[in-house]
Amino acid sequence: MKPTHIEHIGIAVKNLDEAIKLYQTVYGLECYAVEEIPDQKVKTAFFMVGQTKIELLESTDPEGPIGKYIEKKGEGIHHLAFAVNGLAGALDETAAKGVMLVDKAPRKGAEGLNIAFLHPKSTFGVLTELCEKP
């Protein structure tokens, strides 16, 4: 596996509207999509910075993964996402190298991407997402 670029950086926030405002008024970025992912109990907002996106994540349920994350660690950078070609193969290769996987097979993420997470215990505390355009 060799990532082609950083696809996005996921940032956990308590209030999506307020966070969107910061990215728009301070950084002058345009929010080009807001999407709710019921599966993940999360509402997301996207900004493009060069070829990398900022993905703001607000929990829609305190028991969801982002809700629990904020309760434990507070707001901030939640995960790093690499774009890869051949996600299923990359996952097999990663597992074979002894890295713990959160997702053993690709699943659907925001923006229709195929995604899978690696376990932060295996990646020096960084929740890492691999994603691929379908």
**Binding region for Zn ion (CB under 5 A):** 10, 81, 129
Residue of minimal Cβ distance to Zn ion: 10
Cα separations (Å) of 42 from 33, 79, 103, 114? 14, 14, 18, 17
**CB count in 10 Å sphere of residue 12:** 23
Residue with smaller CB distance to Zn ion, 37 or 99: 37
Query: What's the closest the beta carbon of residue 78 comes to Zn ion, in angstroms?
Result: 8
Residue with smaller CB distance to Zn ion, 10 or 67: 10
Query: What's the closest the beta carbon of residue 55 comes to Zn ion, in angstroms?
Result: 5
Residue with smaller CB distance to Zn ion, 61 or 80: 80
Query: What's the closest the beta carbon of residue 79 comes to Zn ion, in angstroms?
Result: 6
CB 127 within 8 A of CB 8: no
Q: Helix, strand or coil for residue 102?
A: coil
Residue with smaller CB distance to Zn ion, 129 or 132: 129
Query: What's the closest the beta carbon of residue 9 comes to Zn ion, in angstroms?
Result: 8
CB 75 within 8 A of CB 13: yes
Residues in the chain: 134
